[in-house]
C-alpha cells in the first residue's frame, strides 16, 4: 500500500490539474474580479429597510413552502422507504423501487419547480410540489438505509412469536428507526428552506421572488435587506432544528 501511495498522489494531482484546465479555473481572473465584487457589495450598503415587510412576508412564505412540502414528503416516503430496503422488501419489489428512487432523486428541486410552474402556474403551490417531489425520494433513500441497519435481535424475537409481517414491522423495526426518521426529516427541513429561497427565481414563490426582482431592477439596497432576512431565517431554523435533533439522539 505504501508503494502505491506516491502513484495515487501523482495521478490525483494530474487529474485535478486537468480538471482545473478544462473548467478554465483561473486565479488571475478571480483576482481581477475582486474590485467588481467589492463594488457590488458597496452598492448594497446601507440596506433599504422600507422593503423589510415584503421581505419578511416572503420569508414566511418560504418557511411555509418548506414545512408543508417536508411534512407531506415525510409521510409519503414511509412506504417507499420500506419497499426499497433490502432486508425488508422482496427482491422483485426492492430492485424496481430502488431504481425509481435513484431516477427521481437525480432531478434537482429547481428543475421540479420549473416543471410544476409550467403545469399549475406561478405562486407558492408549485414550490410546495417541487419540495414534495424531491424530498419524498430523498427521505425514502435515507429511510431505507436506516431500516437496513437495524438490529436483527428484536425482529427475530418477534418473528419467533408467530407475529405477522405487519406486526414485525410495527413492533420490531419501527421503534428502532423512528428517532432516525425524525432526525432525517428535520435535516431535510433545513435544506428545503435553503432550497426554497431560490425557488422564487423560477416563479415558485417565497423570498427568492423578491430577491430576483430587486436584483433585476438593480435595486441593490433592497436586495441587501432581502439577503439579510434570508440569512436570519436560515440561522433561526438551523438553530431550532439542531436542538430538536439533539433531543432525539
Assign 3 a pLDDT band (cuts: 50, 70, 90). low
Quote the mean pLDDT of the chain: 84
Q: Which pLDDT does position 2 carry in this prediction? A: 61
Whether the predicted pLDDT of 27 surpasses 80: yes
* Rg for the chain, CA atoms, rounded: 23
Per-residue pLDDT at 70: 93
Using pLDDT thresholds of 50, 70 and 90, give the confidence band for residue 21. Answer: confident
Rounded to the nearest 10 degrees, how much is the dihedral formed by the CA atoms of 218, 220, 221, 225?
120
Q: For 123-148, what is each residue's pLDDT tens digit?
A: 889 989 999 999 999 999 888 888 87
- Per-residue pLDDT tens over the stretch 78-99: 888 888 888 777 778 888 888 8
pLDDT of residue 102: 85
Task: Report, as an integer, the average pLDDT of 33-55.
Answer: 85
Is the pLDDT at 73 greater than 90? The verdict is yes
Structure confidence by residue, pLDDT tens digits, 200-219: 888 777 888 888 888 888 88
pLDDT above 60 for 1? no
**Span 64-204 CATH architecture:** Orthogonal Bundle (1.10)
Percentage of the chain exceeding pLDDT 90: 9
Res 5 pLDDT > 80: no
Domain ranges of the chain: 64-204
What is the chain written as a DSSP string? Answer: -TTHHHHHHHHHHHHHHHHHHHTT--HHHHHHHHHHHHHHHHHT-S--GGGHHHHHHHHHHHHHHHHHHHHHHHHHHHHHHHHT-TTTS-HHHHHHHHHHHHHHHTS-HHHHHHHHHHHH-SSHHHHHHHHHHHHHHHHHHHHHHHHHTS-HHHHHHHHHTT--HHHHIIIIIHHHHHHHHHHHHHHHHHHHHHHHHHHGGGT--SHHHHHHHHHHTT-HHHHHHHHHHHHHHHHHHHHHHHHHHHHH-
Residue 198 pLDDT > 70: yes
> What pTM, to 2 d.p., does this model score?
0.81
Residue 248's pLDDT band (cuts 50, 70, 90): low
Amino acid at each position: 500500500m505504501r508503494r502505491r501511495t506516491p502513484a495515487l498522489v501523482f495521478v490525483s494531482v494530474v487529474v485535478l490539474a486537468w480538471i482545473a484546465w478544462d473548467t478554465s479555473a483561473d486565479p488571475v481572473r478571480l483576482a481581477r474580479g475582486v474590485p467588481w465584487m467589492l463594488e457590488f457589495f458597496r452598492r448594497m450598503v446601507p440596506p433599504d429597510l422600507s422593503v423589510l415587510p415584503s421581505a419578511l412576508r416572503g420569508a414566511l412564505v418560504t418557511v411555509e413552502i418548506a414545512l408543508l412540502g417536508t411534512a407531506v414528503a415525510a409521510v409519503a416516503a414511509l412506504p417507499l422507504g420500506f419497499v426499497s430496503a433490502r432486508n425488508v422488501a422482496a427482491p422483485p419489489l426492492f430492485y424496481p423501487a430502488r431504481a425509481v428512487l435513484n431516477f427521481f432523486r437525480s432531478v434537482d428541486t429547481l428543475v421540479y419547480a420549473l416543471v410544476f410552474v409550467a403545469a399549475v402556474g406561478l405562486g407558492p403551490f408549485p414550490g410546495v410540489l417541487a419540495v414534495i417531489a424531491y424530498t419524498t425520494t430523498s427521505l425514502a433513500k435515507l429511510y431505507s438505509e436506516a431500516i437496513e441497519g437495524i438490529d436483527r435481535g428484536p425482529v427475530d424475537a418477534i418473528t419467533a412469536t408467530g407475529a405477522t409481517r405487519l406486526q414485525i414491522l410495527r413492533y420490531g423495526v419501527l421503534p428502532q428507526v423512528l428517532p432516525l426518521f425524525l432526525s432525517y426529516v428535520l435535516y431535510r427541513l433545513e435544506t428545503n428552506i435553503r432550497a426554497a429561497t431560490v425557488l422564487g427565481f423560477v416563479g415558485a414563490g417565497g423570498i427568492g421572488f423578491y430577491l430576483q426582482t430587486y436584483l433585476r431592477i438593480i435595486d441593490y439596497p433592497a436586495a441587501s435587506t432581502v439577503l439579510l432576512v434570508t440569512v436570519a431565517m436560515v440561522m433561526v431554523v438551523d438553530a431550532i432544528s439542531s436542538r430538536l435533533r439533539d433531543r432525539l439522539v
